[in-house]
Structure 1
Amino acid sequence: MPNPVLLNSIEHKDLRIITNRGAEWGDQLAWVTTFPAEFRDVQACYPIVFRQTTDGLGFEPIAMLGLVENENLFLKGDRWDAPYVPMLVERQPFLIGVNGSELMVHVDLDHPRVSQQSGEAVFKPHGGHTEFLERVNSLLSAIHQGMQQLPDFLTALLQNELLESFALEVELNDGSQNRLSGFYTINEDRLQALSGEVVAQLHAAGHLRSIYMVLASLSNFRMLIDRKNALLYV
């Protein structure tokens, strides 16, 4: 279970973070949450689809890393085989807590990346922030800002009925049948049928670009399937 606590230079003066890649460090993920401000980088490598939130009341965009649960097809031993790592993977084991209007950095002490012996130091010997922690702070700030913009994007999609469920039938080279379901994508017919006024509104809000980033990303499913097939002969 996660054990997030408020980061401070007294209790955590010796804290180090392992930055290696690998399943043992929590990288064996089939999908990870993303947000519109990250879509440009994500769509270059991964399919972007939507799933219902755990409470069943809303949706969230995710970057697909695999075709089945706990499968990261971009993980090659201790190497991430893609030029871009999604921010919500990159930020581990840190997360943001909010106290009123103040943003506060927390760390999950039970995350496998947390160490006292090896990895990147979080604080300098006399308590100041290391360059590593400054990079983490910038990353967390970008995630927080991006997540603040997400509700408006999702509202625009739902108001215009642009989300539709889909199922992907995949036959691998060994003849096995795989079915990916429970996810949603952009309904292109409804998108094309939108009035000029609605399209202009989506464009003005920056949502139209995000929609087309999602659509462009879907070609990456072919790459996921190719990666899955390659594992059959390892």
Structure 2
Amino acid sequence: MATQLLIYGQVEALNNKRHIDWSIKAGNNYNYAKKVNSVPLMAVEFSKAFEEYSIVFAGSGDELLPVVIMGVREDENLYVDQEGSWKANYVPAFIRRYPFVFASTDDGKTLTLCLDENYDGCNQEGLGERLFDADGEQTEYLGKVLDFLQDYQTHYKRTQLFCQALNELDLFEDMGAKFTLSSGEERSLTGFKVINREKLKALSQEALSTLMKNDGLELIYLHLHSMRNFNKVLERLPKQEENASEEVKELEAIE
């Protein structure tokens, strides 16, 4: 599965000395995400993402997070076309925050706003939105960027707590998906976890009540409903690969 900074290249701390005359010309080109097959999804995004993506869980311990599956090969995102357009109505916030990201060297106690200087929209010709004004003060645009990333960080922490609660209830099981390409080649996608329905049904009334009160139960069912979208990912395979078998053969628990 994807790593947190997989779409980032030359990441540098943003400051008014190094970037005093830098601007960002944003666009609708997502080529920077063409080689990532999954990205983290915040819990607040489930209601917008579940109709178009499969939402699963990846990682372990405090690093366990929901992710959306966007491809069946490690270096392929089937939601970005040849022209760099995103082929879905909803774009995950992890993608939308690019080329900016928070970095930390003390377990999140101090966050530093960083910029991927390899982003095509970075320029020193005044194209797009400036990061700092002539006096070195942050612009309104940069202020909005900070607000977005701070909001993302808040939801990141809430999502971690949600996952920790599910883990403590022992609701997860390791899962894999098998499917067949038109060439007859069988492939599998592994390394993710899902909620086990039987374990969910076996929860105590108290645990279920707690999940319902904090909206956790709704998020669980959105996740389970989204599992039907594995086939939608396969439908995005190049034409020469999609014809023979457009359905996931099976989802199987991994011992």
- The runs of 5 or more residues in structure 2 that have no matched partner are 1-7, 243-255
Separation (CA, whole Å) in 1 of partners of 2:62 and 2:164: 12
Structure-2 change in CA distance of 1:33 and 1:113 (3 Å): farther
Per the alignment, residue 51 of structure 1 pairs with: 58
- Alignment partner for residue 105 of structure 1, among 84, 108, 113? 113
Question: Offset of 1:212 from its aligned partner?
Answer: 1.5
Per the alignment, residue 99 of structure 2 pairs with: 93
Question: How many aligned residue pairs are there?
Answer: 230
Separation (CA, whole Å) in 2 of partners of 1:44 and 1:173: 26
Per the alignment, residue 227 of structure 1 pairs with: 236
Per the alignment, residue 49 of structure 2 pairs with: 42
- Alignment partner for residue 87 of structure 2, among 81, 95, 104? 81
- What is the alpha-carbon root mean square deviation over aligned residues? 2.7
Separation (CA, whole Å) in 1 of partners of 2:122 and 2:240: 30
Structure-2 change in CA distance of 1:200 and 1:209 (3 Å): same
Structure-2 change in CA distance of 1:231 and 1:38 (3 Å): farther
**TM-score, structure 1 as length reference:** 0.84
Does residue 198 of the first structure (1) align with residue 202 of the second (2)?
no
1:26-76, CA deviations, whole angstroms, 9 ceiling, x for partnerless residues? 4431011122122222223211111225xx775221111111112110101
Question: Offset of 1:175 from its aligned partner?
Answer: 2.6
Separation (CA, whole Å) in 2 of partners of 1:168 and 1:106: 36
SS of the equivalent of 1:11 reads coil
Structure-2 change in CA distance of 1:34 and 1:174 (3 Å): same
**TM-score, structure 2 as length reference:** 0.78
Among all aligned residue pairs of Structure 1 and Structure 2, give the percentage whose two residues are the same amino acid. 29
Structure-2 change in CA distance of 1:178 and 1:79 (3 Å): same
Question: Offset of 1:78 from its aligned partner?
Answer: 2.2
- The runs of 5 or more residues in structure 1 that have no matched partner are none
Does residue 64 of the first structure (1) align with residue 72 of the second (2)?
no
Separation (CA, whole Å) in 1 of partners of 2:20 and 2:234: 45
Which structure's residues are more often strand, by fraction?
1
